Amino acid sequence: MSEREVMVDGFRWNISDLGAGPPVVMCHGFPGLGFSYRHQSRALAESGFRALAPDMPGYGRTDTPVTIGDYTNDRVADQLVGLLDTLGEDRAVFVGHDFGAPVAWTLALRHPERVSGLVLLAVPYAPDRFPARPSELYAAVARKHFLHIHYFQEPGVADRELDADPRRFL
């Protein structure tokens, strides 16, 4: 699978770009990378599509956003539109898995003219209108059992634990 770097408004994306034809942009979740879609990319390319699998912001060799606010679904969706522009594509099918799913549906809601199809994997569509703040909902669930989303909320906690012995963790 060939990977390359693409600059979009000063932000570096690492993407897998395979095949030619109508584009399909595959957005991974945690703890994935664009590489996670290597089998699907090959099958799509062989079927006449352009398979685009970026490392999402903050993952792999794609740049890390400067502020926490740059990780919002709105911001990342807008960045993906910029990626399409840079790659010379008007529209694409967007596939989102895990954290990539809300980004994909946000892109479809904000920029419907840029989306020719939407596929959500493992995370059903839920509008961004929760009955409480997501962090409060995650904390409530985490009181009952481990929840990775809650675990990563407090800056530095996961970093200290996971960095202590990465070989054992992995």
Cβ(100)–Cβ(27) below 8 Å:
yes
- Under 8 Å CB-to-CB from 78, ≥6 apart: which residues? 110, 111
Query: Is residue 9 classed exposed, middle or buried when 0-12, 13-18 and 19+ CB atoms within 10 A define those classes?
Result: exposed
pLDDT digits (tens, 9 = 90+) for 18-41: 999 999 999 999 889 999 999 999
Residue 97 pLDDT: 97
Decide if pLDDT at 53 tops 90: yes
Task: Look at residues 120, 78, 61, 73 and name the one whose alpha carbon lies nearest to residue 95.
Answer: 120
Residue 134 pLDDT: 74
pLDDT digits (tens, 9 = 90+) for 90-142: 999 999 999 899 999 999 999 999 999 999 999 888 876 566 777 788 888 88
Cis peptide before 112 (omega within 30 of 0): no
Residue 79 pLDDT: 96
Residue 14 pLDDT: 98
Q: How many Cβ atoms are within 10 Å of 41's Cβ, its own excluded?
A: 25
Bridge-based pairing of strands 50-54 and 92-97 is unpaired
11-18 sheet: strands from edge to edge:
3-8, 11-18, 50-54, 23-27, 92-97, 115-121
Rounded Cα distance between 89 and 22, Å, is 9
Residue 91 pLDDT: 98
Residue 113 pLDDT: 98
Rounded Cα distance between 53 and 87, Å, is 13
Residue 129 pLDDT: 58
Task: Name which residue leads in pLDDT, 62 or 71.
Answer: 62
Bridge-based pairing of strands 11-18 and 92-97 is unpaired
Average pLDDT, the chain: 92
Q: Where are the beta strands (DSSP E) in the chain?
A: 3-8, 11-18, 23-27, 50-54, 92-97, 115-121
Q: Which domains does the chain have, with CATH numbers?
A: 3-127 (3.40.50.1820), 130-170 (no CATH)
Cβ(41)–Cβ(109) below 8 Å:
no
Residue 154 pLDDT: 82
